[in-house]
């Protein structure tokens, strides 16, 4: 109930959220998983998402920390090589950024839809959340 309450509260702000559903069972995705490390997979998915969104202005990209500090620098470098976007990248634990905590709740709603078939959470977001299938 708390998650549904929080999702309803997001209706008060202006935003769009996006999820990419990565089907590990698809042949081409199995190939991506086999031939790329965690950072490579995350980078491919993030670039696909940003290409779908079509951002035209500068922005801050806040990534939930999952890489070592050394790999964070490598990730940032590769991201900027592959994207002509003007953005600053921050890697941080989700407890420190309320936006990541909100994204975690939205991601959980998306997961419930695809894993459990429960659309009651994602429907709360109405036309503010877009799902891209990889």
Domain locations along the chain: 2-133
Instruction: Count other C-beta atoms under 10 Å from residue 129's C-beta.
Output: 19
pLDDT of 118 over the 90 cut: yes
Query: What residue ranges in 69-127 does DSSP mark as E strands?
Result: 87-92
pLDDT of 117 over the 90 cut: yes
Helical H segments across 88-129, by residue range: 98-111
Residue 67 banded pLDDT, cuts 50, 70, 90: confident
pLDDT of 31 over the 80 cut: no
Q: Please give the model's pTM, rounded to 2 decimal places.
A: 0.71
Q: Supply the pLDDT for residue 133.
A: 81
pLDDT of 4 over the 80 cut: yes
pLDDT of 6 over the 80 cut: yes
């Amino acid at each position: 109930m708390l998650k549904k309450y929080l999702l309803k509260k997001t209706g008060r702000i202006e935003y769009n959220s996006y999820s990419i559903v990565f089907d590990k069972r698809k042949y081409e995705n199995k190939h991506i998983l086999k031939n790329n490390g965690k950072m490579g997979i995350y980078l491919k998915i993030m670039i696909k998402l940003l290409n779908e969104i079509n951002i035209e202005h500068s922005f801050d990209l806040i990534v939930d920390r999952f890489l070592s500090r050394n790999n964070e620098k490598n990730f940032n470098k590769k991201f900027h090589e592959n994207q002509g976007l003007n953005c600053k990248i921050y890697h941080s634990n989700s407890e420190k950024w309320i936006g990541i905590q909100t994204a975690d709740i939205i991601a959980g709603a998306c997961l419930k839809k695809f894993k459990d078939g429960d659309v009651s959470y994602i429907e709360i977001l109405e036309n503010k959340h877009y799902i891209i299938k990889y």
